[in-house]
Structures are given as structure tokens and as C-alpha cells.
Amino acid sequence: MKIIVGVAGGIAAYKTCHLVRNFKESGDEVRVIPTPSALNFVGAATFEALSGNPVRTTVFEAVDEVQHVRLGQEADAVVIAPATADLLSRLAAGRADDLLSATVLVATCPVIVAPAMHTEMWLNPATQANVDTLRRRGITVLEPASGRLTGVDSGPGRLPEAEQIADLARMVVAGAALPRDWEGKRVLITAGGTQENLDPVRYLGNRSSGRQGFALAEVAAQRGARVEVIAGATEDMPAPIGARVRRVVSAREMAQAVAEWSPQADAVIMAAAVADFRPAAQAEAKLKKGGDDAALGTLSLVENPDILRGVVRARERGEIPARVVIAGFAAETGDDTHSALDYGLAKLERKGCDLLMCNEVGVGKVFGERRNRGWLLRSREGQPAEVTELQDASKHVIAGAYLDTLNVALGSRLLQR
């Protein structure tokens, strides 16, 4: 792809260096267009070295090339990170007083904007009005992350990490839009694998990375939802943008957190890989191998609570509202008698949830990977389940398709109230 990376004059401009490298390492052709003030934070030589292309800031450079027209016409995407309050204002007004803003006016490709500024500036009604204007015009304006800002301040307005911006940008370019159709809805998502301790050193776990759950959280938040994530073991990934995260370790801890939060949700998505069993007893000291201690040779296991089924039963008992839509995942492998899809359909019926995504897993499949594929299984009252195959795509694209289908189920639930 031909990607224009725009840079506004904010302290977060240093993160743009990582974004440029991310795109370049994926094989994209990158052209960096900073505003003049952005060069006060990161010099042109840095962006030229990372992108392999010249850096210019005004339409009066290389006039014979008519840069803003050519660059805007040829780009497959424009990604602006960071976008300051000033740049948002100029874009909303349709200004063209530097090379970046002029190029955006010419561009007919997807434009993705990642704001970064102090919390008060982000929440200011003027900024929010500019964001609304840009979104109505079809520009994707990402919600900022929350965290440490310049100085001692902390709050919403932090620029997301480069990998997060790149993942969401690629999702939009792939045709998976980020409409604000989940505005006002509360979504509870579990992610990652649970760990069941054997002793202070060892545990029983699984290969789940948490990537699909975090992708669901990021996409739901970017579509306007208030997202709560209950996260078990995850890879060293930044927290999902716009989501509140609660960390747990074991299946029982996760079950307790889900029970506490699910009554307030509009949708509950169980994307975590929950351990089916746990040791019957946890040793207080490290178990030793050899000698007369056979504890490591023979483990006694007990079954963990079925969290997904438990939420469905709570809805059946009226402990959570009937309008709440409940969805999950089924990590399956086929065998000589049944396919992974067969087992997924059986699990959908057994769990009683509204939606289930079935993945065929194994070494090098799904777990820990950046891409996913499988089937979306939607239950229908008195009818066979609706099966939609999802072709191989990034986990953010899969998350978008999952939420689209969940919207249908949510609408059906709301009509039943």
C-alpha cells in the first residue's frame, strides 16, 4: 500500500517514528508529511531515514510536481498521528494552509486520524464538535488512549501505541468500517488465558494470547461502546484503547468478575480461553521432583465453573436482564468422526448463548497469531443455527464482523423486552 503518514506538532510525534517503521516492515510504501510545527519535535532527517522518501511541509516545495494533488490521488490511506486540537480544527474547517491539510482535501482514500492532546483539550466542546464534523464526513477519528500525558497529568488524550494505530488503520483500509453504532452500549469482554496454580512456581495454562479479545475491545470502543475487559494471561500487549481493564489469574476469579459486571452490560462476550480444570489442591511450597514426592507425577484435577453457561443461566433466572446478548468462542479441533464446525455447533446448543465463533485451533493456528478465521454461529429460536464463514483476516477485521452479527442478535433481544 501507499500510505501517507501525517504528523502534527505535538510531543507524541516521537511515537510516529515507530508507526512509520511498522508500515515499512509490512512492505508498505510510506511518505511522511509533517506540519511545520511537527519538525520542532522530530526532525525531517529522522522521517526521511525511516520512510526512505523526502519530507516536505508546504505546497511551495517541489511546485513542479504539484505534490498535494499527486500524493492525495495516489495514496491508499492517510494516517495522521498525532493529530493535535489545532489540526483537527483546520481539517474540520477545510483549510489547506500546509502540505498535509491540502493533501487531505485531495485524498479520496480512507483517512484515519489519531488525536493526542491534554484531557481538557480533548474534552473541550470545540474539539468534540470538530471530531463529530470529521466523522460525519467519513473520516475515521480514533478515540485516544488513557494514561500518562505530558508532565504529571494522566487521562484520556494519550496517543495509542504504534501497533494499535496500524492495526486499526489496516482494518479500515480493508473495508471494515468503524461506525459509531455501539454508542451508549456497555460491553463486557473476557480475554486471554486463565492460569491454575500448582504451587508458587508452576501453573496449568494454555496457548491463548488474548489478541482476539483485545481486538474486540478496541473495535467496540472505537464504535462508541463503553467497554470493560476482564483479562487473564495476555501477551505483552498494551491495554485496549478506550477500555477499562481488570486483571485476573484463575478461572474462578474470572467467573466472579463476570458475575459482578454482567448485570450492567448490554452484551457479554466471552473471548477468554478458560481452563476447564484446576488442581484439586495448590501446594504452598514448590513441589519437588524425584524422591518420595509423587505430586508432580500424578495430578488430581477438579472441574472449573463453566462461565459462559453460567451467564446464560443467570439470564434465564432473571439475575441479569433478558435484553443482554451473550456471545462466546469455541476453540475446536476436528477428528475422525466430526469436524471442528460440528463440535462448534454442538457447543452453541449446549451453552445456550446467542452467538459463538468457532475456530479450528492447533499449533500455528489462531492462538498467538495476528490473523484468524472460522465460523460465526448464531442461534435462532426453533430453527437451525445460522452459519457464516469468516475467511482469513486480521483479528481486528474479524472483530468487526463479530460485532456486526452481534448487533443483529442485540436488536432481536431488545425487541423481546
Q: What is the pLDDT of residues 295-339, one digit of tens each?
A: 566 788 999 999 999 999 999 999 999 999 999 999 888 888 888
**41 is known to lie in a ligand binding site:** no
Q: What is the mean pLDDT of residues 81-102?
A: 97
pLDDT tens column, 15-71: 999 999 999 999 999 999 999 999 999 999 999 999 999 999 998 887 777 777 889
Handedness of CA 148, 7, 21, 243 (dihedral sign): positive
Instruction: Kindly give the pairing relationship between strand 140-141 and strand 325-332.
Output: unpaired
Q: Which among 217, 274, 219 is positioned nearest to 245, based on CA atoms? A: 217
- pLDDT tier at 208, thresholds 50, 70, 90: confident
**347 is known to lie in a ligand binding site:** yes
Q: What is the mean pLDDT of residues 344-363?
A: 88
**97 is known to lie in a ligand binding site:** no
Euclidean distance between CA atoms 367 and 362, whole angstroms: 8
Every domain of the chain and the residues it spans: 2-174, 186-416
Q: Does domain 186-416 have CATH number 3.50.50.60?
A: no
- pLDDT tier at 367, thresholds 50, 70, 90: low
Euclidean distance between CA atoms 19 and 165, whole angstroms: 8
Residue 205 backbone zone (phi > 0: left; psi -120 to 50: alpha; other: beta): beta
**329 is known to lie in a ligand binding site:** yes
112 Cβ contact partners less than 8 Å away, ≥ 6 residues apart:
77, 78, 79, 80, 139, 140, 142, 165, 168, 169, 172
- pLDDT tier at 369, thresholds 50, 70, 90: confident
Handedness of CA 78, 79, 81, 85 (dihedral sign): positive
Supply the pLDDT for residue 10.
95
**289 is known to lie in a ligand binding site:** no
Main-chain dihedrals φ then ψ at residue 37, nearest 5 degrees: -70, -25
Does residue 265 surpass a pLDDT of 70? Answer: yes
Among residues 22, 206, 304, 359, the one annotated as catalytic is 206
Lowest mean pLDDT among 101-105, 120-124, 406-410: 406-410
What architecture is domain 2-174? 3-Layer(aba) Sandwich (3.40)
Euclidean distance between CA atoms 49 and 59, whole angstroms: 22
- Residue 203 · residue 195 · CB < 8 Å: yes
**286 is known to lie in a ligand binding site:** yes
**276 is known to lie in a ligand binding site:** yes
2-174 and 186-416 in the same fold: yes
Calculate ∠ Cα 340-234-173, nearest 5°. 75
- pLDDT tier at 364, thresholds 50, 70, 90: low
The residue type of 279 is P
Give catalytic status of residue 304 as yes or no. no
Q: What is the mean pLDDT of residues 355-364?
A: 79
Q: How far is residue 135 from each of residues 130, 143, 199, measured CA to CA in Å? A: 9, 12, 52
Q: How far is residue 283 from each of residues 197, 295, 407, measured CA to CA in Å? A: 8, 9, 45
Q: What is the pTM of this model?
A: 0.91
Euclidean distance between CA atoms 113 and 79, whole angstroms: 6
**305 is known to lie in a ligand binding site:** yes
